Structure 1
Amino acid sequence: MYSTLSIRKRFLHDIKNPILRWGYIFAIPGLLSYLLFTFYPTINCLIQSLYLIKGAGSAWVFHGFKNYLEIFHDRIFWDSMINTFVYVLLTIPLGTIVSLLLAVTLNSIIKGRGFFRALYFIPSVAGVIAMGIVFTWMYEPYMGVLNLILSKMGLPQFNWLRDSHMALPSIALMNIWQTLGYNIVIFLAGLLSIPTEFYEAAEIDGVTPFQKLLKITVPLIAPSMWFVIINNTIKNLQVFSEIFVMTGGGPGHATTTIGFRVYQYAFLYLSFGKASANVIVLVIIILAITIFQLRFFEKKTQVQF
């Protein structure tokens, strides 16, 4: 009761301040958008997961937790779970490392830094669907540019998207390429905030460039790094568009992810209850992993997120 009254008094006090009053007014559209486009769909999805719904306009029959039990007994669901985590493990570490190294390289360039920064950011501007189509053509086994280059070099060629062992890494490679620009911009912002005195002192002490990277750069841009990791983890756990465009979940179920499984249940099988159950499971997974990452990174960097 006391805390509720305190919050109410604080709110009434803030309203009297014209600056804070306008702050509340400008926050209202964002709050309403969140309630309308995020909170309400999530609650509606949770309710739908408890019902048997066969197509749009059909009657809702209460199903309890049977939708969850049925998807948990579905072998493809567990395959999609494994594929999703493998995809995240393929994209996050390699994408973060490559982005960081390129950002450090760009930061050391004096002339043409803006040009190269814009050049690397172009893939992030392009749509996922468009990039998926382009990479599908590049991965084409007979006419694709990648196999053409490999054949000219006398190296073995690959069936990139039609081999169950190559398909998911091939899609992950496209994701890494597309997210490079965004990650580089975040890392460059962190690098520009590091005082040059640290590097000058390290050079006087005879520190090698690799040691400067590990001992100075990485610790000081840790918050930027954690942001990139957390943001990309959340995004890649929901991967769908790349899978839909490039492989359709195949070959077999080699690239079927949780997000693609939601699409299958909703639009191919018209089982909205099971699709909603898959969504709720994915939301729980994302929340659990994000909370773990935030607590882990907070202890490592002593930064309050």
Structure 2
Amino acid sequence: MTKLTNRSYTYYFLLPAGIIYFVFFLLPTIMSFFFSMTWWTLTDWKFIGLENFITFLTEPSLNIGFKNTLIYAIVTCSLKVILGLLLGVFLSQKLKTIGFVRSMVFFPTLLSTIAVGMAFAMMMHPTQGLINTALKIVGITGPDWLGDTTIALLSVALVDVWKGVGMATVIFIAGIMSIPEDYYEALAIDGGNSFHKFWNIIVPLSRPAMNSVIILAFIGGLRSFDLVWAMTKGGPGFSTDLIASIIYKQYQGGFYGLSTAGNVILFIVVSALAFPLYAFLNKKEVDL
């Protein structure tokens, strides 16, 4: 009887968190699935079945949006992992100014995404932007970073990497500094050099940190919207349109049920890609 009472007592502490989770996450999720199958406004709704999903999936720009979203997620995720790992290795060293350098690397993460997008949109202006002006001084004619359909998506992705690599670096630093010194001492006794230290110790033993960065960066890339919208609004044409920006355009047009169906589709796409990736990465982890 005492054991049962203690268990019930524990559940009372979990109840407030459970209520908050239900009200602010679970209930809106269930309502989104329902309203995705309706035509609705703020005052009225009508059930229409799967019509919204069919309409959204037949959107002419959706194929481009899917391709752009996948490219964007892969590029940003890959660069954040590579740069974050290299910076993490460098910033794990014992240097006098290491605290200042770490702060500078992490600082962009603290900035507003909209503010960063607007600032870089001005800096990447083809004739008056700071980047092309600096290139012109050294005799290089800079491209139209956001107006050229062939490089616009990559330009936005590079800004995303600049803003987000600080968080990846912090995660890698934590993973690298948790590696026991015994491994490095054993490598030194065997005559290993800096490359062996990086490739044979840091890379495999920081895999839990790497897995976290991959999952967070990949999901973030698939769900990205605010930076793209602040810099290009999906243009020129559909060259930087992502699934999230297509959903927002439907919402702007007053097609609320259609945009809700798009959100459900995005949720399914992210889940279908993220969960298998998470399971695959967990199989590759190395225990210390």
What's the TM-score bracket when you normalise by the shorter of the two chains?
over 0.9
Q: Secondary structure, in 3 states, of the residue corresponding to 1:108?
A: coil
With normalisation by structure 2, the TM-score equals 0.94
Aligned to 1:300: 284
Aligned to 1:187: 172
Q: Secondary structure, in 3 states, of the residue corresponding to 1:61?
A: strand
Q: CA shift at 1:86, angstroms? A: 0.8
Rounded to whole Å, the distance in 2 between the matches of 1:170 and 1:27 is 46
Aligned to 2:14: 27
Counterpart residue type for residue 79 of structure 1:
I
Q: CA shift at 1:208, angstroms? A: 2.9
Aligned to 2:266: 282
- Which of residues 52, 77, 80 in structure 2 aligns to 1:67? 52
Rounded to whole Å, the distance in 2 between the matches of 1:242 and 1:210 is 37
Aligned to 1:132: 117
Q: CA shift at 1:33, angstroms? A: 2.3
Rounded to whole Å, the distance in 2 between the matches of 1:243 and 1:103 is 27
Counterpart residue type for residue 42 of structure 2:
A
Aligned to 2:66: 81
- Which of residues 136, 157, 160 in structure 1 aligns to 2:145? 160
Q: Secondary structure, in 3 states, of the residue corresponding to 1:297?
A: helix
Counterpart residue type for residue 34 of structure 1:
Y
With normalisation by structure 1, the TM-score equals 0.89
Alignment of 1:51-66 (within 5 A): 51-53=38-40, 55-57=41-43, 59-66=44-51
Q: CA shift at 1:112, angstroms? A: 2.0
Q: CA shift at 1:141, angstroms? A: 1.1
Q: CA shift at 1:94, angstroms? A: 1.1
Rounded to whole Å, the distance in 1 between the matches of 2:139 and 2:94 is 35
Is the 2:73–2:219 contact (alpha carbons within 8 Å) kept by the matching residues of 1?
A: no
Structure 2 stretches lacking a partner, 5+ long: none
Aligned to 1:119: 104
Rounded to whole Å, the distance in 2 between the matches of 1:228 and 1:211 is 23
Counterpart residue type for residue 16 of structure 1:
N
Is the 2:204–2:286 contact (alpha carbons within 8 Å) kept by the matching residues of 1?
A: no
Q: CA shift at 1:264, angstroms? A: 0.8
Q: Which runs of 4+ in 1 moved over 4 A?
A: none
1:13 aligns with 2:3: yes
- Which of residues 88, 110, 113 in structure 1 aligns to 2:95? 110
Go from structure 1 to structure 2 and tell me whether the alpha carbon gap of 1:161 and 1:106 turns closer, same or farther (over 3 Å shift): same
Counterpart residue type for residue 85 of structure 2:
L
Is the 2:247–2:259 contact (alpha carbons within 8 Å) kept by the matching residues of 1?
A: yes
Is the 2:73–2:221 contact (alpha carbons within 8 Å) kept by the matching residues of 1?
A: yes
Q: CA shift at 1:15, angstroms? A: 4.6
Q: CA shift at 1:191, angstroms? A: 1.0
Alignment of 1:213-252 (within 5 A): 213-252=198-237
Aligned to 2:162: 177
**Cα deviations across residues 174-230 of structure 1 (Å, max 9, x unaligned)?**
110111211111111111111122122223323232222121101111011101110
Q: CA shift at 1:71, angstroms? A: 1.4
Is the 2:146–2:152 contact (alpha carbons within 8 Å) kept by the matching residues of 1?
A: yes
**Cα deviations across residues 72-125 of structure 1 (Å, max 9, x unaligned)?**
111211111111111001100111100110110011133222221112111111
Name the count of aligned residue pairs. Answer: 287
